[in-house]
Structures are given as structure tokens and as C-alpha cells.
Amino acid sequence: MKLEDIRKILVLGAGTMGLRIGLQAALSGYDVTIYDIDDRAFAAAHKIQPAILKHLEKIGKISHEQGLEALARIRFTTDAADAAKDADLVSESVFEDLNVKKEVWTKFGKLCPAKTIFTTNTSYMLPSWFAAETGRPERFCAFHFHDVFQAVVVDIMPHAGTDPWIVDLLMELGKKLEQVPVVVHKENSGYITNAMLVALVGAAGALLTGGVASYEDIDKSWKYNFGMNGPFEILDKVGLDTAWHITKTLPDAKSKKFADLLKTYVDAGKLGVKTKQGFYTY
């Protein structure tokens, strides 16, 4: 399979990442199907995608017509069989939960044609944890985006059974999707950036739950020294539910304490930027 053979991209999950990956794929000329089990996710995507396009137009990256054409190339569905039937490549962005990932890949492994290449956008899991469920581990690889439009690195991380040509193809596809592809040579939780980020966020969480400083002052300490978003601003953007799913899997006591704090936000429906309330109000 060559880059030109990829025409139809199926995105699984219409949340924070799925709607962005789908939009970029459509801007790059692909026919995109976005599948979710919960059609309420589509309402948010219908608001956020035009807002992203408006911004891209404002900064001169795309024309109004290019934005409209991209939207016209995207369809949304809750019909799994219909979504899968002619996909050339699948990009999976469902919840960061191993059982959910296994369930989704078992389903789409059976529904997709043999030609389809499978990729996961998991943040911290390893592709080998659910490669068998895809039914085609040799065509399965992690293809992990960051923010898609602002943070443009895409990590390509094969597992031991991934065919090497898949890595080469994803390198080309990453560039076509206007990302900067990097290859992670051996499976590593958190790839490259997130492996560094988890150390920062973990330290910030321990400072907060240890009563050392407020989240505002922890953020200021990072932001005004290094000119970057503070760790709690980053978490609000990532989504506190996603952050909780990741943190609760870490084995140490400080991470467990921080995961408990994140859970109180999740239970209160305060998931960060996407619900307009997390550590901060948006």
C-alpha cells in the first residue's frame, strides 16, 4: 500500500482529538468518517470544527472555501459497519481505557476490510497491549497526535510485530497531515513528549496535593519563568478525565493521591476546557 492508496480515513471517537484529527485529514484532502457510540459528541464537534477553521482562516492558513470543502468531506455516524466498510486507514481516539480500546479494536478488526491500516492515538498505553484484538497486528501501529493544529508532532510507535513498511507509510502520511513525524524505536509509555510531560505534571500534582502551593502559583512558577503554559493549564486542555485515566494507572503513592483529586473534578463534570470548567473557568 502506498500513500496514494489512502483515500478514506475513519476516525474512531469524536471527542477532543478525534474531531481535530478528522478535520486535519479533511483539510489534507481525505474523505473522513468520524464514528462515535455517543452522538452527543457530534454536537460539540459541529461547534468546535468550524471555530478551528475560522481561526485558521483568520491567521491566513486556509481560505474560507478550503474550510467549507473540508467540512463537506467529513461525515459523522454511529453505524459501525457502515463506517468501517471502505476505510483505508483507521485512527482511533476513544477513551484512554484498556477495556474500551480492546472492545473497539475487536469490533473494527472484524468489520474493516483486509486492506485497512489500523492506528491508535493512545496517550500512555502501548500498542502491543491490544495489537492481538485488531486481528491484524502486523498492520497496527501507534500514530499519536498532540493538539494537531498548535502542537504538531505526531509520534509513530510500532510494536514488535508491526510491519516496517507501515512506519514508512505513516511518516509520509504524517507530513501530508501537516505534522512533524517522529519515530519511537521501541515501545515507550508516553512516547517522547508525554514521557517528559508526565514528569512535570506528576511533580505539579504532588506539590498541590502535598499542600506546598496552590495550582495557580504552581502554574505561575512555570509560565512566567519559561514562557509556557503551566501544568494545570495543560491538564485543563488535555481534559481532566483523560488525565485521571492516565494518572490512576501510575503505581506510586503521589500519583494515586493526585488521581484521587482529579477524580473529584471528573465526578463534578469539570473536565477542563471542553466543559468550560476545570482547574480554571473558560
Ligand X SMILES: NC(=O)c1ccc[n+]([C@@H]2O[C@H](COP(=O)([O-])OP(=O)(O)OC[C@H]3O[C@@H](n4cnc5c(N)ncnc54)[C@H](O)[C@@H]3O)[C@@H](O)[C@H]2O)c1
Residues in 119-178 at the binding interface with ligand X, rule: CB under 6 A: 121-123, 144-146
Which of residues 96, 133, 219, 236 is near ligand X by CB under 6 A? 96
Residue placing its CB nearer to ligand X in the complex, 117 or 238: 238
Q: Does 231 bind ligand X (CB under 6 A)?
A: no
Distance between CA atoms of residues 246 and 125, nearest Å: 9
Least distance (Å) between residue 175 CB and ligand X: 19
Q: Does 15 bind ligand X (CB under 6 A)?
A: yes
Least distance (Å) between residue 60 CB and ligand X: 26
Q: Does 94 bind ligand X (CB under 6 A)?
A: yes
Q: Does 242 bind ligand X (CB under 6 A)?
A: yes
Q: Does 41 bind ligand X (CB under 6 A)?
A: yes
Residue with the shortest CB distance to ligand X: 15
Q: Does 74 bind ligand X (CB under 6 A)?
A: no
List residues binding ligand X (CB under 6 A). 12-18, 36-38, 41, 93-96, 100, 103-104, 121-123, 144-146, 238-239, 241-242
